[in-house]
Structure 1
Amino acid sequence: MRIRPVAATLGALLGFSALLLPTSAAQAAESADGPVVVAHRGASTYAPENTLAAADMAAELDTAWVENDVQRTKDGRLVVLHDTDLKRTTNVEEVFPDRSPWKLADFTLAEVKELDAGSWFSPDYAGARVPTLKQFVKRLTRNDQKLLLELKAPELYPGIEAQTLAVLDEAGWLDESHIDGKLVIQSFSADSVKTVHALQPSVKTGFLGTPSVADLPEYAEFADQINPNFGGVTADYVKAVHDVRGPHDRQLELFTWTVNDGPTAARLAGYGVDGIISNSPDVVREATAGSSDSASPDSPSSDAVPELLSAAAS
């Protein structure tokens, strides 16, 4: 069993202290100046990623926006999971020892529901399960949170774009109130983002990657956001993104990932990024609150040497 004792301890302490917070805390961060802060796979420094517990922890940390990853089981059910196999974040090798390589697409939802998705992180989360997309958005609705949804490896799951939109629609997430400020669908696959835009043009979309400046107008035909890894972000690139208007005739936005330390977050906020995706949203918020008043997007040098990537791909 792989356990992160420091993160588990922090999670337990934060969970206790959150009982003292007002019920509206999940929206508090939105009132502060600075980039939007998004909890990556939930507040995944403090709770097992992509679980309901991670979404709840994000709410307890005053984080309205939650990012997740969506894939499909063998029997066609959408679940929230990052890796295309179940090995890293569940006990699948113990429960199904003869099913190597343990690809999600080879397991039914009923089989996935047998797995423990929390013990790898900490004994405190033993018994956590891989949630369905329906369960996940229901929890976000309860928490009054917003969703940055990633279609993970869509090339493995033909038709997942339409299926995801159908689940969101059934859950009430394609009404005007959600489309206008509570939902973004993103992917590393430009074709998948194009498909979402074609099927539901009103939904805000994001492309995960760093297109060349010359190619930005092409991406702006179907993506409202350009969402690169932070290591390649410069002030000049942020400005170039902002100089292009997207499919809804609004300035393109840039959300960057995955930033977990205050100094890097503050530097990126100074570049004028619109959002920062982080495993530790509390750290990023503390470092960037009020940053829009104290730094110009063009003030830091765009020649600064990017830090080494601090996290796995979104």
Structure 2
Amino acid sequence: MAQPLPLLVVAATLGASAVALAQSVGGPFMPLPALPVLAAERVELGRKLFNDPRLSSNNSLSCASCHQLDHGGADRLPRSLGVDAKPLPVNTPSVFNASLNFRQFWDGRAQTLEQQAHLVVQSPTEMGSDWTVVVQRIAADPQYRSGFAQAYSEGVSEHSIQNALATFQRTLLTPGSRFDRYLQGNTEALTTEEKYGYQRFQEYGCIACHQGVNIGGNMFQKFGVLGDYFKDRGNPSEADLGRYNVTGDEDDRHVFKVPSLRNVAVTAPYFHDGSAATLEAAVEVMFRYQLGRTPSAEDQALIVQFLKTLTGEWEGKPL
């Protein structure tokens, strides 16, 4: 059986700061917080906007087109189709628990959900619209006009539309996972095999990048720490440059926001390029390119079993 990497070795490869964060006060993992108390009228406006195709230039796409709440908050495609019906540059991440990420988008170019909405609407490959048009369309709807007048002193505006969308997204937390119940003290919430998988997940050093309340989503990391993923995969694209496209810093080449692993069992395919069709394949890639290890089949299977315990609930129903 392959031996897990000790954290000292993980620190040498992934960075001591990552391990320090994993071992910070409160431990590497925390259950999801309670749903935030938010203005109900703003939440409902955001819910309606989230499903409204008038945010796109040709009325063909809504936020829910790619972030399908009945499909784990994503759409099961390697790359979603944009307003021009062409594949987008990267895989659509789940919208569930996105409010807990320290940045938005794979390359982290948005620091808030409001900024994310701003960029998506005017992106030529995503919704292809502009805010002048969107505000006019929403303000022309009597129900929206009345609802915004009650919820925002400014009424319908670019700012209020973005805030309503973000307010709704902040309600998209998925508590109730078996792992959260385990963290809260219910030791029977996991099977023996899943507990072993949790142990392997920690011992191999996966927690160096995947920890915190969102089990990821709180740092940047290079894709291909211990192997050239992009050379091996072939067909490089501009999107593969990751954070470099934002900063122009050579150190940011192939660097991406570490994704959250919450609900990972229901959000295939994986990675920014959607290249891993199954959770098993994704775990294998992580071992090879991030940890430089070949685990035993048993250890790999145990980790997959553990990851399946991270699936939560939304509106009282399992994802």
TM-score normalised to structure 1 length: 0.26
If asked which structure has higher relative contact order (CA below 8 Å, sep 6+), I would say 2
More helix by share: 2
TM-score normalised to structure 2 length: 0.26
Q: Tell me which structure has the larger Cα radius of gyration.
A: 2
More strand by share: 1
